[in-house]
Structure formats: structure tokens, C-alpha cells
């Protein structure tokens, strides 16, 4: 079954995701489905709430040549340390199509998570990988990258997404909706 991306203002994007506890066959299958949805959408990260599931699951692959063998599939990710040094990146989001903003986050992080084989893993990440993981963990807490910009910019971005969605719906219906 193909997963369907949720787009703002879908309320599921603002909810707190529940812990997974154990990565069993069902959760592992879901992680692989998320990875496929992320690749299909040309993303570098995806969180379960973005496909309507309130589970603390994210997938990330920031490599030039995306390959599931190099992807990170994480359940219950938890950042255990953040550097004071910062990194600014022009972020976008599959749930906020076509919108981008400069967001500053810690340059390096340490985290722990449960992998696809139900093993607890600790790792360090920096630069784009760090940013992507932080962005996806934010999703698990109902936080979007647009929450890091001014209210004016956020409102403008949301209006643009609404317009894009409305125009797409009109096109699907073969013209203007009266």
C-alpha cells in the first residue's frame, strides 16, 4: 500500500507521536514503506506523522545517490547532545511543498534510536545529516520548520501552499470549482 503524504494544515502534523517501544515486523515493514515514499517524493527525510501515523519513526537519507542500504531508519530517536556551534541550511518539507526557509540548528548532535532490527544504536551526525534528523524529530513533536521563521513569513508560506493545493484540486476537477 502506498503511503499518502499529509500537507499543511493537516492537524496530524501538529500532534505528538507515540513511542514505538519495539521494532517488530510490522514496524519494520512500515519503515521500508516510509523510505519508499520518501524516495518517490524526492525527499531526504520523512517522519511518520507526515504519512498520518502518530508513531515516533523517521527515515533519513541525505546521500547524493540515495540507496536504502545507506539510509537511516529510526524508531524512538532521542537527541542526547547538541553542539553550541550552529549550522544554517535552507530547509524545505514534503508536507509544505514548494516552500523553503533558512533555519539555524546545532551543527552536530549525538542521538540514540532503535534501528530496523530492534537494536538500540548511538550515533553522531553533523551538518546536513544533523539538520535533517533534527527536522524529522521536530515532526514527531508536532513542530514544523516554518515554526522557526517569523509569523509573517510563515503565514505567507501557508497561503502559498493553500493556493497550490486549491489550484491542483481545480485542475483535477477539470476547471474552476464554483
Annotated catalytic, 136? yes
The one catalytic residue in 136, 162, 171, 172 is 136
Q: How far apart are the first and last CA of the chain?
A: 33
How does DSSP assign 11-63, residue by residue?
A: GGGGSPPBP-----HHHHHHHHHHHHHHHHTT-SEEEGGGGT--BSEEEE--S
Closest by CA position to 149, among listed 158, 161, 160: 158
Q: Residue 118 has which C-alpha cell?
A: 530492534
Q: Looking at residue 117, what DSSP letter applies?
A: T
Catalytic residue ranges:
136
Amino acid at each position: 500500500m502506498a503511503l499518502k503524504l499529509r500537507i499543511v494544515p493537516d492537524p496530524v502534523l501538529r500532534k505528538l507521536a507515540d513511542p514505538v517501544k519495539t521494532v517488530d515486523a510490522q514496524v519494520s515493514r512500515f519503515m521500508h514503506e516510509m523510505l519508499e515514499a520518501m524516495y518517490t517524493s524526492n525527499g531526504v527525510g520523512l517522519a511518520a506523522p507526515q504519512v498520518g501515523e502518530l508513531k515516533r519513526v523517521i527515515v533519513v537519507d541525505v546521500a547524493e545517490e540515495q540507496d536504502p542500504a545507506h539510509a537511516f531508519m529510526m524508531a524512538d530517536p532521542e537527541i542526547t547532545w547538541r553542539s553550541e556551534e550552529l549550522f544554517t541550511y535552507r530547509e524545505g518539507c514534503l508536507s509544505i511543498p514548494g516552500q523553503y526557509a533558512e533555519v539555524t540548528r546545532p551543527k552536530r548532535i549525538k542521538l540514540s534510536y532503535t534501528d530496523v532490527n530492534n537494536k538500540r544504536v548511538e550515533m553522531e551526525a553533523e551538518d546536513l545529516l544533523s539538520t535533517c534528523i533534527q527536522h524529522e524529530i521536530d515532526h514527531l513533536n508536532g513542530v514544523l520548520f516554518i515554526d522557526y521563521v517569523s509569523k509573517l513569513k510563515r503565514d505567507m508560506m501557508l497561503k502559498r501552499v493553500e493556493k497550490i493545493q486549491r489550484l491542483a484540486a481545480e485542475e483535477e476537477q477539470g476547471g474552476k470549482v464554483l
